[in-house]
Structure 1
């Protein structure tokens, strides 16, 4: 009886060891598969017709390659409705994280809400929404408006007429850059805002708007604040064609290569540097941290910097 009992016990013990080994092997294989799986990030950008936005997108792509992240990048073409649909598509594709460069503060907010409801982290890059995302990577646009208008105020000695070109109305950058500019204008009662209108971040529209203002106000214009370089370059072209550029100060924001060259030539008086490289890189780095369950910063603000001929060399590549 003892012999039979021992044999049965041995058989059961060997079987359990065998099964345990199989389970460990299966578990190990699954773990390996999970570790080997590439993270997939869906990216929706405001407009790939805008040079600064393209620069941010390029940096996202560059950093994604370094980190082994698979990207699905789409262009919202300035449509908040299209952007929401793109986020819905990312949700259906079950991406790990979504990066959104919002078209509008309010109208793009449902995209954030939908992503979070689907338990997919969403990061806003460069621009904001009313709905709070998992993280925000960008800069304080109020600061950039203050920097630009302060430069104008000092150059004009606190007295003169300014026109302001708005970006795409309803977008965070447009709202906040105007806010910053108006804060400075309040400090200079003799600095008048002669006119303000949207150029929709576009060079051709900025040029056309400047041509209209030249016809309406002519030599009364002392300075132009364009909320981005594309519109600023359009304003420079219109003023140059009208023979007025040497009498009018033009300041814009972003420090894209064209603007830096214009500052070097003296046709653009100043631009405000916004760091596309850091915005793009940090958005992907944050996406990876979130996907891996690591600690991450919920807000990263990258400072703006005034660029003039005096410090131009620092920003030229």
Structure 2
């Protein structure tokens, strides 16, 4: 079964939840972390949220972090190394569910709690806490196609091929596409969720002269706006995530119409919380918890107000502004920005 949470993000400028510092709980657990994408602001915020939550909980003595650019085979190796290190729990953002399934099963058999964040896994013993990726894509694509008047060509900029989050988002995008038969995909690319790669793909597409009426991005957004502005191309509607740079552009770039769909990297901190709850004997009633997104656009007064409230230029442009998740994270803004875990 799945539990659905409505995302009411605590923004960087708002008061954060709960404890201002480290909990008085007894530190006794070692948590392993496995992530396969570096150089991506969303993933960096995710890892910082994991560190901050581990510190704020007071229950974690050490984090064993495998954080590098690799594929499913490399992640499987990392997971097996974490098993050998005898960690108490593993919080993993999976590169490919099938490719790491054996490792997750081995971890469970070794008595290690397994929590997947951001994306689903197929290993039935694992717990999952994730942003609702299908709904993320559907909300943004539905809004975009409405802005396009239900017709025209869209440049479809996906994430990483093989990632379950990308597959789920593709379902949501195609659901909205089916509801708008007048909209066609001008070109489809995989950005790998890398800023430089995505910007070059946008520039290369512009160079072809192919007509297009909108851009849907899988969270690589501010560099797409940069490419459009630098190329003096028409500012067609753009959909992205709630990254600080893009949120700022939606209020500052003249002529830009766009929408940010919330996709908090702080889900990493929520994953640590879930792992600690299970270790403390508080297993959730459902194996999967989904956090539903919101859409903030600059085409309505309500959306403009939300964008204004969310904007935080003090954050890295690639970091989501939704730096905390109610009921799941207890760190302060200073703690997540410092990006320090227990003992650091």
Instruction: Give 1:36 shift.
Output: 6.0
Instruction: Please tell me whether the aligned partners of residues 90 and 115 of structure 2 are also in contact (alpha carbons under 8 angstroms).
Output: yes
Residue 340 of structure 2: aligned partner: none
Residue 323 of structure 2: aligned partner: none
Instruction: Please tell me whether the aligned partners of residues 251 and 308 of structure 2 are also in contact (alpha carbons under 8 angstroms).
Output: no
SS in 2 for 1:122: strand
CA-to-aligned-CA distance 1:247-269 (integer Å, 9 cap, x gap): x111123x121121121223461
The equivalent position to 2:271 in structure 1, one of 253, 265, 283, is 283
Hey, which bits of structure 1, 4+ residues long, moved more than 4 A? Answer: none
Residue 329 of structure 2: aligned partner: none
Q: Which runs of 5+ in 2 are unaligned?
A: 1-24, 299-303, 313-344
Residue 44 of structure 2: aligned partner: 54
The equivalent position to 2:82 in structure 1, one of 83, 90, 112, is 90
Structure 1 residue 273 and structure 2 residue 262: aligned?
yes
C-alpha distance in structure 2 between counterparts of 1:217 and 1:61, whole Å: 45
Instruction: Please tell me whether the aligned partners of residues 40 and 195 of structure 2 are also in contact (alpha carbons under 8 angstroms).
Output: no
C-alpha distance in structure 2 between counterparts of 1:163 and 1:133, whole Å: 38
Structure 1 residue 234 and structure 2 residue 223: aligned?
yes
SS in 1 for 2:204: helix
Instruction: Give 1:133 shift.
Output: 4.2
SS in 2 for 1:110: helix
C-alpha distance in structure 1 between counterparts of 2:93 and 2:73, whole Å: 13
C-alpha distance in structure 1 between counterparts of 2:47 and 2:28, whole Å: 20
SS in 1 for 2:51: helix
The two structures, once aligned, show a CA RMSD in angstroms of 1.8
CA-to-aligned-CA distance 1:145-164 (integer Å, 9 cap, x gap): 11111111111111111010
SS in 1 for 2:38: coil
For the pair shown, the structure with the greater C-alpha radius of gyration is 1
The equivalent position to 1:223 in structure 2, one of 210, 214, 233, is 214
Alignment of 1:1-317 (within 5 A): 38-68=28-58, 69=60, 70-218=62-210, 220-228=211-219, 230=220, 232-246=221-235, 248-253=236-241, 255-266=242-253, 267=256, 269-277=258-266, 279-297=267-285, 298-309=287-298, 310=304, 311-317=306-312
Instruction: Please tell me whether the aligned partners of residues 45 and 75 of structure 1 are also in contact (alpha carbons under 8 angstroms).
Output: yes
SS in 1 for 2:137: helix
Larger RCO (alpha carbons 8 Å, 6+ apart): 2
Structure with more helix by fraction = 1
**How many residues of Structure 1 are paired with residues of Structure 2 in the alignment?**
277
CA-to-aligned-CA distance 1:192-214 (integer Å, 9 cap, x gap): 11110111111111111112211
1:268 to 1:46, Cα distance in 2 relative to 1, 3 A: farther
TM-score (norm 2): 0.76
